[in-house]
C-alpha cells in the first residue's frame, strides 16, 4: 500500500531556520519529519479490517530511519512524498519512502520503521 502527500516547503523548513546548516534550503530534519508524517498518514488510512490498522488507544512510534538527502530545494517549492508500506509483521511497520520535487527529481529516499504501541502504556513508562 502507498500513500502520497504533497507539501509546500516553508521558510520554517530551512536548514538556516532549523539550525541544521546555514543555507536557506529544505533542511534534512524537515525532510525526515515529512517522511515520518507521510508514513503515519498511510497507517491512519488503512481500512479498519486491514492488517496493521490501528485500534482505539494504539499509535505508532518511529524507531529507525535511514535517509539519503540527495538534492536541495528552496522554500515555496512543492514536494511530493510517497510512503510505501513494504512489510507489516507483529507490531512492526517497514516503509520505503521517496520525496521528489515538482519536476520529478529525487530529493530524498529512506527506509523507515515504526512500531505499534499502546499510547497510555507507552507514556506511563516515561512518566513513571
User: Which tens digits make up the pLDDT trace of 58-82?
Assistant: 999 999 999 999 999 999 999 999 9
Beta strands in the chain (DSSP E): 2-8, 58-69, 78-89, 92-101, 106-118
Domain coordinates in residue numbering, the chain: 2-127
CB 41 within 8 A of CB 82: no
Q: Which CATH superfamily is domain 2-127 in?
A: Hotdog Thioesterase (3.10.129.10)
| pTM of this structure | 0.96
Q: How many whole angstroms separate alpha carbon 48 and alpha carbon 66?
A: 29
Higher-pLDDT residue of 128, 53: 53
**pLDDT average, residue stretch 92-112:** 98
**The cell 530534519 sits on which residue?**
29
Task: Rounding to the nearest 10 degrees, give the CA dihedral for residues 115, 119, 122, 123.
Answer: 140
**pLDDT average, residue stretch 48-65:** 96
**pLDDT average, residue stretch 18-43:** 98
Q: How far is CA 5 from the centre of its chain?
A: 10
pLDDT at res. 127? 84
Amino acid at each position: 500500500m502507498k500513500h502520497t502527500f504533497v507539501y509546500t516547503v516553508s521558510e520554517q523548513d530551512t536548514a538556516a531556520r532549523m539550525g541544521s546548516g546555514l543555507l536557506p534550503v529544505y533542511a534534512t530534519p524537515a525532510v525526515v519529519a515529512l517522511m515520518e508524517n507521510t508514513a503515519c498518514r498511510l497507517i491512519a488510512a488503512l481500512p479498519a479490517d486491514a492488517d496493521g490498522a490501528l485500534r482505539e488507544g494504539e499509535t505508532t512510534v518511529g524507531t529507525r530511519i535511514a535517509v539519503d538527502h540527495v538534492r536541495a530545494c528552496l522554500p515555496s517549492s512543492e514536494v511530493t512524498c510517497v510512503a510505501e508500506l513494504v512489510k507489516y509483521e507483529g507490531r512492526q511497520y517497514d516503509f520505503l519512502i521517496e520525496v521528489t520535487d515538482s519536476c520529478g527529481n529525487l530529493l530524498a529516499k529512506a527506509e523507515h520503521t515504526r512500531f505499534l504501541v499502546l499510547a497510555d502504556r507507552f507514556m506511563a513508562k516515561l512518566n513513571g
